[in-house]
Structure formats: structure tokens, C-alpha cells
Structure 1
Amino acid sequence: MTVDILIIEDDPSLSRFLSTTLTAQGYAVTTAMRADEALARVALDDPALILLDLGLPDGDGLALLPELKARCDAQVVVVSARSQESDKISALDAGAEDYLTKPFSVAELLARLRVAQRRRLESIPVAQQYAVGALRVDLEKHQVWLAEEALKLTPKEFQLLAILAQSRGRVVTHAQLLQAIWGRHHSDDTHYLRIYLRQLRQKIEPNPSEPRYLLTEPGVGYRLADA
């Protein structure tokens, strides 16, 4: 399962570039060129993230922002050529989580989106128990059962499983997992995740080579099955 993102941009060439770039990074991308189209897309897709240009042909993005926030729980990153401090303050006051001034680098955009996605995950209410099939995770008691048999996990294994359980059914990126467990200086150490996922699968999965619970999203991250 990938992260859904809506690009609201009336420049066709920039919209295509952003769509191509983000799709290659594993995002599920939809686009809109007008405010009315954007509201329709939000109702249909319920995106996790929104990239919003302020200069739209049928209205100002600042006026659209509160409507977007009222209709979905997406993190909104404004992408605009307006560079005045007053514009940034107005956008943030209207509900945007971040503001990126054009022109910008792809690396900075992706970093801002990772931060936005991390904030969204942190804002989602956390259930204390997770259960699917024979697997049960109790976050409060720090216990895991498989077919009523208590499993012994290392602290790092449990922390990794707990993060995936809190985001059950949704992908958590490599960088988000690494920063949450090992800190921001380890955001590129994906071999840590491979090691611990392999250990967890050996303990949890009936067939570790064909995982039932701990699923890989190639090139993006991992998720815990929700059914």
C-alpha cells in the first residue's frame, strides 16, 4: 500500500514532472488543475498528502486551504512562487503544514514530504491492540502472541512491530522507521531494517519466504497487513 498524494497545480508541465517524480518514489499520485476539481478529488481519494499551488485559475489557493482541511486529514504542503514572508504566514495560518517556494530541488521536496507523512502518522490515534489472523499485538503490555503462544521479541523487534501496528494497513517508509527507532542520523541504514524484518518474520510468519503479516513495499518501506 502506497501513500496517496494529490497534486493541485495548474502548470501542466510542472504537474507532469511532479507526478512522474513522485510516482517513481512510490507515491500513488492524482492531480487537479482547478480548485473545484481538487475538492472533487479529495472526496474521491481521501489523500494522505496534498501539494497545493496558490495560483489556481478558478480561485486563490489560500481560500481553498480551509476547505481542503475540512474535508480530509491530509497534510498540506504549499508549493508557490510567492516568496514573501506574509504569504507564508497566511498559508500556515490557513492550515498548511509546510510551505515550499518555487523553484525548489527534488531532494528538498521529498524531504518535506517525508516530514509531512511522519507528522500525519504521529497524529493518528493509536489503538492499544492489533489483531489479524493468528497474530495479536498488545502495545500497552508490550506483548505479542501468535496462535495464543507468547513470543519473545527483542526491544528493537518489538519497537519495529509496534510502529507498523500503529500504522496497520499503511506503508511506513524506510526513512520513517529508521529515524523513529535508530535516530535521524541513520535514515539511510536500510540494512538495519532488513536484518530486523528477517528476524521478525522468522518468529511471526508461518512461511517467512512468503510473508502473511509483514509485507514489503519494494523501494518504499513496509506495512503490517490489516486483513
Structure 2
Amino acid sequence: MAQTILLVEDEDGLVTYLRSELQFEDYQVLTAGTGTEALRVYAAHKDELDLIILDWMLPELDGLEVMRRIRRHDNIPIIMMTARDYVGDKVAGLDNGADDYITKPFEIEEFLARLRVIMRRKGRSHPAANNYQVGDLELDVKARRVTRGKHQAELTQREFALLRVLMQNSGEPLTRDELLDQVWGADYSGQPNIVDVYIRYLRGKIDLPAHQSIIHTVRGVGYVIEGGE
């Protein structure tokens, strides 16, 4: 299966060139031209993304801030890309979670070689989980199927994403802000009680009469998923 890369760059000519080179190497490429657009695309496609190429100087939100927000809850490989050849910038990028840093202009052969190294490292060290289980609740990522006992729950895409984040952090209370960032995106500007609304939807679909509650409210914090038979 082709690996998917999010390319975040506001220079159209460079986007066209890099997308063509990456597609020639059999990568699937998604693009974003601003920091806020990058966070929206990331939030919508994070389950399928393998790596992010992130320019430092972006409209709306710079690349460093985009990376900080993604790093709150995801260790996806990130290559920072910039025209600023200052040691301090490189240190800041690496300290804030970049896996590599490349300065423009660069030779495409070197860039692709660095990308392959990171992809190989990711394949060895960070295998993606496809199935999660908490008590008798099971979530199959590839099949997009959720079952509890013999019952299959029909979830919307957003409900599925919310449940997956909870199950990825089984036993660990998550705040509403953390859930908003991971499920709705760091630039979400709607009502924060949307989390409570969707938790209620989930409970209605997976807390069946024959089963005890599995999504618990942690007073003053948020929500946690644990136990349940």
C-alpha cells in the first residue's frame, strides 16, 4: 500500500515540483498552503498519514506552532523545511519534535534519501495499531467496525474517531481540550461542549442494557474509557 505524505508549503512552484517527485516515488500526497489548513487536513486524514513535510514560514500559523500542536498527541514523523539556515532555528525545530530538518534550496536526491530513512525507522519503531480492545468492546480500524459482545455499533465517522482516541488511551483520563484537539482539530472554534454531546451519542450506542457503562466521566477533568464486561 502506498504511503501517504502531507506536504505543507505555501510556494506553489515548490508544491508542484515536490508533489510530482513524491508521486513518482509512489507516495500519495496531500497538500496544505497555510498553518490552519495543515491542521484541518491533518485532523481529517491522520489515520492514513505516514509523514508530514512542514515548511517553517507559513501564513496564519507558522510551521513550528503547527508542529507543537500536532506533537501534543501524535509522534508522526515530521521533516521541517525552511530557507532560514540558522543553527538556532534547527535546534528549535528539533527540540520541538522534528525528526529531521532540511534547508532550501536542496537537492531532491538528498531530500528523498532522508525521507526514506525516516520511513524505514517509522516502520521498525512505530507499527500502527489496527485493533483496540477494552473489556468486551472491540474496535477494528481497517474494517471501521465496533462491536460489544455480539452487538455491532453503527457509528458516524466522528463518533468512531472519538472512540478510537479514548481506546488508544484506555485507563488514562483525557480532558475535553485534548479530545477536541485530537478529534476536531487544534483550530476548532465551535462550542467545547460538542465533546459532551458526542460522548452522549457514544454511550447511547455502546452502553447496552446488558453491559455496564464503559465510558466514565472524571469530574473536573474529562472522560476515560476502562473496564466493562
Q: Please tell me the residue identity of whatever aligns with 2:111.
A: L
> Aligned to 1:58, what secondary structure does the other structure show?
coil
> Aligned to 1:120, what secondary structure does the other structure show?
helix
Moved more, 61-70 or 11-20: 61-70
> 2:119 is matched with which residue: 112, 117, 120?
117
- Matched-pair contact (CA < 8 Å) for 2:10–2:33: yes
Match of 2:34 in 1: 34
Match of 1:10 in 2: 10
CA distance in 1, matches of 2:73, 2:31: 17
Alignment coverage as a number of residue pairs:
127
Residues 151-200 of structure 1 show CA distances to partners (whole Å, capped at 9, x for unaligned) of xxxxxxxxxxxxxxxxxxxxxxxxxxxxxxxxxxxxxxxxxxxxxxxxxx
Give the direction of change, closer, same or farther, for the CA distance of 1:36–1:71 in structure 2 (3 Å limit): farther
> Aligned to 2:39, what secondary structure does the other structure show?
helix
2:80 maps to 1:100 = no
CA distance in 2, matches of 1:73, 1:126: 11
CA distance in 2, matches of 1:56, 1:29: 19
> Aligned to 1:113, what secondary structure does the other structure show?
helix
CA distance in 2, matches of 1:57, 1:125: 33
Match of 2:88 in 1: 86
Give the direction of change, closer, same or farther, for the CA distance of 1:118–1:86 in structure 2 (3 Å limit): same
Q: Please tell me the residue identity of whatever aligns with 1:36.
A: T
- Matched-pair contact (CA < 8 Å) for 2:19–2:29: yes
Give identity over the alignment, percent.
40
Runs (4 or more) in structure 1 with deviation over 4 Å come to none
> Aligned to 1:15, what secondary structure does the other structure show?
helix
CA distance in 2, matches of 1:71, 1:36: 17
Match of 1:76 in 2: 78
1:55-204 equivalent positions in 2, closer than 5 A: 55-125=57-127
TM-score using structure 2 length: 0.53
